[in-house]
C-alpha cells in the first residue's frame, strides 16, 4: 500500500470511529464491494469445478449486485436499515443463477436484522451476518456444505463472537473478511469435488471479494486491479461452422447501461473499435444502448467494457454464425404461442435456444424466457413472463439446475398461485409438458407434471473447459464430454465417440425414441454424421432430429 492510500484509509477509519455509519456509508461500502467483485469476476468464473461451459458464478454475482446497487445509487437515504432493505430488494429482483439467489438471500437476512437500525454498529452488523446465513440456508432445499452457505455461516460465528467484546463495525467487518478467507480455503475439505478439481468454492470466493472490497475501500486500497490475471474460460469449438463467415461478424452484442459518470463518446467509440465492428450507440434518459459485432473470442469483452463504465441493465448476445449458416434457424424465432384463456393453467418455460423454444411453444407453453448455460435469467425476467397473464395458476419450468432457485424466488414474490416444476434439463421440461391439461385441477396437473420428470433420460454432449478428474472420469481441456442426467460419464476424442459412449451408459432396451437437439456450435455435416451413426447402431429405435439452437452443447439427447 502506498503512502497516499495509507493516509486515505486512516482518514476514512477515523471518520468511521467518530461519526455514525449511516445509510450513505452503507452505500459506499456496497459500491466498493461491487467494484472489487467486478474487478475479480473472471477469477471467480474460472473456479467452476465441473468441466462444462457454465463458469459464470462471478458474472451472476456481479449482475445481481449491479441490480442491488442500482436501487441505492442515487438514494439520499441516511437510515442504514432502509438502505440495506433497498439493497436486498434490488438483489432479489436481479438475482441470476443459484449463486445470485443465495447472495440475494444473504442481503435479505442482513436487511431483516437491520430494519430498525439507523446506523451500523459492531453488534448489529454481527447480528446481520448471523441472520444472513440462517436466511440463506432456509432458502435452499438441500444445503451443501463447502459452498457459499458454509462461508456465510463461518462469518456469522466469527463476528458474533467478536461483537461480544467489540462494537466497532469496521473491525467486525475485518473479522468477517478473515473468517471468509479461512472458510473459503477450507471448502475443498468439505466438498470432495472441489478437492479433486483443485479449486475452492466459487460462490464463497465471490462473497470473499465482496467483503474484501469493502475493507479495501476503508483502508484506501485500489479497487481497479485484479489480484491475478485469469484467461477467460472458453472451450467452444466453432471452427468448422465459421468457415465462410466474414471475420469480426461472429456475434452480435447489445448492452444497455447507465454510466457512472458522463460518457465521453469519442473515447467510448475508440475502446469499442478495438473489440469489433458495426458499432452503434444510442442514448435516452441517461441510458445508453451499445451495439457491436465481434469475433467469437471477444464476445464477452463489450459487456465487461460497459460494466467498467456503468451499471449494466440488460445484455443480449446473438450468434450470427448460426444465422448465416442456416437461414431456417431464423424462422425458429417466429414463435407462435398458444393463446391463454382466462383461468387456464399457464406454463412459463425457460429455453436455451430458439429451436427448443419453438418446440415448447408447439406443446402449449404460454410464455418463453430465454436462458440456459451462461445466460441465466433474473428473478425479474421470470416474473415479467407471467405477472400480466389472465390467470392465477402458473407453472414454471426452469429446465436448468442453475435457474431453479430464481424460478422459486419469482414464485415466492407473486400473489399468484405459482408452482415450480424443478426440471433441471430440457428433456425433463418437455416430458412435463406432455402432462399439461390447461383446464385440469391445478394441484393434480402439477403433481402429474412433476412425476413426469423421471420418465426421461437426459444426455448432453459438450466440450470440456478444464482438465480434471471427477467420479473416476478423467477429462482433458478441449475434449468432448458426455453427461447423463447431469452426471459426467465419459470423455471422448470426437462427437461420434462421445454420442455412442453416452448411449452405452443407458439400457436402451428400455426405451424406444431418442430425440437429438443439435446446437448452434455444430455443423450440418457433423449432425448428419452422428445421426447416421446412431441409426445404424440402433436400427430398432426411432431417431428424431431437432434444431435446438442452444449454445455450448453440441447435442442434447432426450431418451424416452
492 - beta bridge partners? Answer: 480
Distance CA 121, CA 129 (A): 12
| CA gyration radius, the chain | 24
What 8-state DSSP symbol labels residue 19? S
Residue 247 CB neighbours (<10 A) = 8
Distance CA 218, CA 373 (A): 36
Which string of DSSP letters, residue by residue, matches 478-541? Answer: T-EEEEETTEEEEEESSHHHHHHHHHHTS-GGG--EEEEEE-TTS-HHHHHHHHHHHHHH-TTS
Residues in the chain, overall count: 560
- Give the pLDDT of residue 481: 93
Residue ranges of alpha helices (H) inside 165-201 are 169-190, 192-197
Q: Which stretch of DSSP H or E encloses residue 149?
A: helix 148-163
Cell 452443447, residue?
553
Nearest to 524 by CA among 287, 327, 251: 327
Contact 214, 497 (CB under 8 A): no
The three-state secondary structure class of 166 is coil
- Give the pLDDT of residue 98: 84
Which residues neighbour 342 within 8 Å (Cβ) at sequence distance 6 or greater? 390, 391
- Give the pLDDT of residue 327: 34
The parts of the chain modelled with pLDDT lower than 70 are 1-19, 53-55, 228-249, 282-285, 319-334
The three-state secondary structure class of 5 is helix
Buried b (16+ CB within 10 A) or exposed e, 427-447: bbbbbbbebbebeeebeebbe
- Give the pLDDT of residue 10: 55
* Residue 377, phi then psi, degrees to nearest 5: -70, 160
Strands 367-370, 346-351: parallel, antiparallel or unpaired by DSSP?
Answer: parallel
Residue 350 CB neighbours (<10 A) = 30
Contact 361, 349 (CB under 8 A): no
- Give the pLDDT of residue 160: 96
Domains, the chain, ranges and CATH?
A: 3-219 (1.25.40.340), 251-324 (3.30.70.260), 329-455 (3.40.50.510), 457-559 (3.30.1180)
Where are the extended beta strands (E) located within 248-331?
251-259, 277-284, 287-294, 310-319
How much is the pTM?
Answer: 0.72
- Give the pLDDT of residue 218: 86
As separate numbers, helices (DSSP H) first and strands (DSSP E) second, the chain gives 22, 16
Amino acid at each position: 500500500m502506498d503512502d497516499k492510500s495509507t493516509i486515505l484509509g486512516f482518514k476514512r477509519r477515523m471518520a468511521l470511529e467518530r461519526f455514525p455509519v449511516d445509510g450513505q456509508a452503507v452505500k459506499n461500502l456496497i459500491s466498493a464491494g461491487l467494484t472489487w467483485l467486478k474487478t475479480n469476476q473472471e477469477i471467480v468464473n474460472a473456479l467452476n469445478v465441473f468441466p462444462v461451459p457454465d463458469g459464470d458464478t462471478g458474472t451472476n454475482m456481479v449482475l445481481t449486485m449491479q441490480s442491488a446497487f442500482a436501487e441505492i445509487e442515487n438514494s439520499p437515504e441516511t437510515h442504514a436499515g432502509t438502505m440495506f432493505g433497498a439493497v436486498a430488494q434490488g438483489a432479489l429482483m436481479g438475482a441470476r443463477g443459484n449463486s445470485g439467489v443465495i447472495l440475494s438471500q444473504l442481503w435479505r437476512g442482513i436487511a431483516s436484522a437491520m430494519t430498525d437500525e439507523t446506523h451500523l454498529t459492531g453488534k448489529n452488523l454481527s447480528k446481520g451476518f448471523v441472520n444472513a446465513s440462517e436466511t440463506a440456508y432456509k432458502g435452499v432445499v438441500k444445503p451443501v456444505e463447502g459452498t457459499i452457505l458454509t462461508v456465510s455461516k463461518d462469518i456469522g460465528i466469527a463476528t458474533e463472537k467478536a461483537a461480544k467484546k467489540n462494537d466497532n463495525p469496521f473491525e467486525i467487518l475485518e473479522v468477517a473478511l478473515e473468517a471468509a478467507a479461512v472458510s473459503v480455503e477450507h471448502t475443498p475439505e468439505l466438498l470432495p469435488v472441489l478437492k479433486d478439481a483443485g479449486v475452492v468454492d466459487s460462490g464463497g470466493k465471490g462473497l470473499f471479494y465482496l467483503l474484501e472490497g469493502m475493507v479495501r475501500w476503508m483502508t484506501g486500497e485500489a479497487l481497479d486491479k485484479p489480484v491475478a490475471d485469469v484467461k477467460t474460460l472458453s472451450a467452444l469449438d466453432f471452427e468448422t461452422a465459421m468457415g465462410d463467415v466474414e471475420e469480426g461478424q461472429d456475434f452480435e452484442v447489445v448492452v444497455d447501461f447507465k454510466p457512472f459518470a458522463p460518457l465521453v463518446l469519442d473515447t467510448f467509440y475508440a475502446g469499442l473499435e478495438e473489440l469489433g465492428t458495426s458499432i452503434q450507440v444510442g442514448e435516452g434518459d441517461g441510458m445508453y444502448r451499445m451495439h457491436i459485432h465481434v469475433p467469437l473470442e471477444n464476445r464477452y469483452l463489450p459487456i465487461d467494457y460497459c460494466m467498467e463504465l456503468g451499471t449494466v441493465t440488460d445484455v443480449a448476445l446473438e450468434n450470427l454464425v448460426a444465422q448465416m449458416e442456416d437461414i431456417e434457424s431464423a424462422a425458429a424465432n417466429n414463435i407462435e404461442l398458444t393463446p391463454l384463456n382466462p383461468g387456464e393453467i399457464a406454463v412459463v418455460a425457460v429455453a436455451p435456444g430458439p429451436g427448443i423454444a419453438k418446440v415448447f411453444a408447439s406443446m402449449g407453453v404460454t410464455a418463453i424466457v430465454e436462458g440456459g448455460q451462461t445466460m441465466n435469467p433474473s428473478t425479474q425476467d421470470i416474473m415479467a413472463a407471467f405477472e400480466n397473464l389472465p390467470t392465477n395458476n402458473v407453472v414454471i419450468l426452469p429446465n436448468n439446475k442453475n435457474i431453479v432457485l430464481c424460478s422459486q424466488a419469482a414464485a415466492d414474490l407473486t400473489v399468484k398461485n405459482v408452482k415450480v416444476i424443478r426440471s433441471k434439463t430440457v428433456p425433463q421440461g418437455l416430458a412435463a409438458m406432455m402432462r399439461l391439461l390447461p383446464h385440469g385441477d391445478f394441484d393434480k396437473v402439477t403433481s402429474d407434471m412433476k412425476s413426469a420428470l423421471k420418465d426421461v433420460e437426459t444426455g448432453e454432449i459438450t466440450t470440456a473447459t478444464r482438465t480434471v478428474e471427477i467420479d473416476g472420469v478423467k477429462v482433458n481441456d478441449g475434449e468432448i464430454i458426455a453427461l447423463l442426467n447431469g452426471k459426467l460419464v465419459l470423455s471422448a476424442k470426437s462427437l461420434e465417440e462421445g454420442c455412442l459412449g453416452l448411449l452405452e451408459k443407458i439400457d436402451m432396451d428400455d426405451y424406444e425414441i431418442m430425440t437429438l437437439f443439435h446446437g448452434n456450435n455444430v455443423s450440418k455435416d457433423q449432425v448428419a454424421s452422428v445421426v447416421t451413426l446412431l441409426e445404424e447402431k440402433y436400427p430398432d429405435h426411432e431417431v428424431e432430429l431437432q434444431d435446438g439452437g442452444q449454445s455450448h452443447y453440441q447435442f442434447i439427447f432426450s431418451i424416452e
